[in-house]
Amino acid sequence: MNRPSLYWEADDDVEDIGRYVPGGYHPVKLGDLLAPPPGSSDGGVRRYRVLHKLGRGAFGTVWFAESLHESSQRYVALKICVADANPQQELGIHSRLPHEEARHIMELLDSFTLQGPNGVHSVFVYNVLGSLNEAIRSSPGTMQVKLVCQQLVKGVAFLHRYGVVHGDIHLGNVGIALPTLNDHSSRDIMEYFGNPECTVVLPTTVSQHPDGLPPYLVPPVSFNSFLSRNDLSFREGLLKVEIMDLGNATTVDCAPRPSCTPAAVCAPEIMFERVVRSVDAPATKASDIWSLACTMYELVFGSRLFHFAAQNDALLGKMSKLCGEISPSWQTYWISKERLRDLDTSPETASAEWAYLLDHHSRTNSVLPSTDMAELISLLRLMLKMDPAARLSAEDVLEHPWLNSVGS
């Protein structure tokens, strides 16, 4: 089915209306009540009312909701997966992660299925998280930044310990806990965000599948600003990181799946396969470490290590220059491309590139002192190795001097 033409087009901060097709998104209205099917063993017991939009992604939309079946006020995030998604993959990942251990992974609170006009959708219920990127920019500080990085690494180490490869580590998949959100009334929250600027979904021609379209598209909200203004404990407290979205995660003992890691944080061995063979190789623990290093760089310095990253030779060249080498398996392809074979990828050039970055950030970044920054860059270089086997493990990263002095 083609993407419908609408009388009023929405801004870029909402989902693609073309995904509301059989097998795609479930249409949601604010105020909808979502619950397990009546015929199920617990149908009618658990109910959630949708209050606002939190976000969207390739595998579903996420909604801010209130739990109506609990004795005390509680807000949750409802991830409504596209109908074509495989819920067993994500449920299986959560089921193998013990809850009693210290962790920095979003916990699954509930799950059920939902029948809609576009198919049967899995609904995953989580705690509401805030934006880490917004929080770290509004409350910078050496210890805060290092603590956040340590927690992020602990989360990855936790996954790897139980044989889970995340496969999609980037800043958009890391949130912060909002432990005091339940202390605020829904009226105060909704009044703060005001009347949503909804875009009415009115196709220019009669839709072949009208029930599958939502009545309007809603822009998402973030709770950082609400809590910063209305909650002193949130403003002054330490951030607690939680890694989100295990929809792309895999386990080391199951059949591999194609990776979907974004180009800006994608490991070179995966990117090479995409560029040269148009193949999405599976993510590994080692590719997670590369993505983790890129995410830590962006967290601390506020910019991406690989600017304007795209699936092309230019990105392969940038990776090789920063690593100071090219992979032996790349040699034949490398010498066939004039743009690549003329690049200086020596260790000396790599050291010069990192020295430039250190000098630049020492002059423009006030979060870390220069000596601390140099130690961080030494850690990142150990994580950003061309050879996957040469990269530090997540446990090794935690033992690096830049992180092991941070309080738990």
Evaluate if residue 134 carries a pLDDT over 70: yes
Distance from C-alpha of 235 to C-alpha of 219, rounded to nearest angstrom? 25
Q: By the 8 A CB rule, do 315 and 339 touch?
A: no
Distance from the Cα of residue 304 to its chain's centroid: 15
Q: Tell me the pLDDT band of 41, cut-offs 50, 70 and 90.
A: low
Distance from C-alpha of 36 to C-alpha of 30, rounded to nearest angstrom? 18
pTM of the entire predicted model? 0.92
How deeply is 166 buried, as exposed, middle or buried, from its count of CB atoms within 10 A (0-12, 13-18, 19+)? buried
Distance from C-alpha of 29 to C-alpha of 265, rounded to nearest angstrom? 35
Evaluate if residue 156 carries a pLDDT over 90: yes
Q: Tell me the pLDDT band of 389, cut-offs 50, 70 and 90.
A: very high
Number of residues that this document lists for the chain:
408
pLDDT, tens digit, for every residue of 257-295?
889 899 999 999 999 999 999 999 999 999 999 999 999
**pLDDT reported for residue 101:** 77
Q: Would you state the structure tokens that stand for residue 328, as one six-digit string?
A: 């032996």
**pLDDT reported for residue 122:** 95
**Domains defined for the chain, CATH in brackets:** 1-128+178-231 (3.30.200.20)
**pLDDT reported for residue 405:** 75
* Residue from 341, 307, 326 nearest 268 by CA: 326
Distance from C-alpha of 214 to C-alpha of 134, rounded to nearest angstrom? 29
Distance from C-alpha of 208 to C-alpha of 197, rounded to nearest angstrom? 27
The packing angle between helices 285-301 and 268-277, to 10°, is 110
Evaluate if residue 178 carries a pLDDT over 80: yes
Q: Tell me the pLDDT band of 314, cut-offs 50, 70 and 90.
A: very high
DSSP 8-state assignment for residue 129: E
pLDDT, tens digit, for every residue of 187-238?
999 999 999 999 999 999 988 888 999 999 999 999 999 999 999 888 888 8
Binding site: what residues are annotated? 79
Distance from C-alpha of 186 to C-alpha of 226, rounded to nearest angstrom? 12
The more confident residue out of 96 and 288 is 288
Binding site for ATP: what residues are annotated? 79
DSSP 8-state assignment for residue 23: T
Evaluate if residue 140 carries a pLDDT over 70: no
Residues of the chain above pLDDT 70, percent: 96
The more confident residue out of 255 and 232 is 232
Look over the chain and give the mean of its residue pLDDT values, rounded to a whole number. Answer: 92
Q: Please state, in angstroms and as integers, the Cα–Cα distance from residue 386 to each residue in 5, 390, 408, following that order.
A: 46, 8, 31
**pLDDT reported for residue 188:** 96
Distance from C-alpha of 98 to C-alpha of 393, rounded to nearest angstrom? 21
pLDDT, tens digit, for every residue of 333-381?
999 999 999 999 999 999 999 999 999 998 887 678 888 999 999 999 9
**pLDDT reported for residue 39:** 65
Query: The dihedral of CA 340, 344, 345, 349: what is its sign?
Result: negative
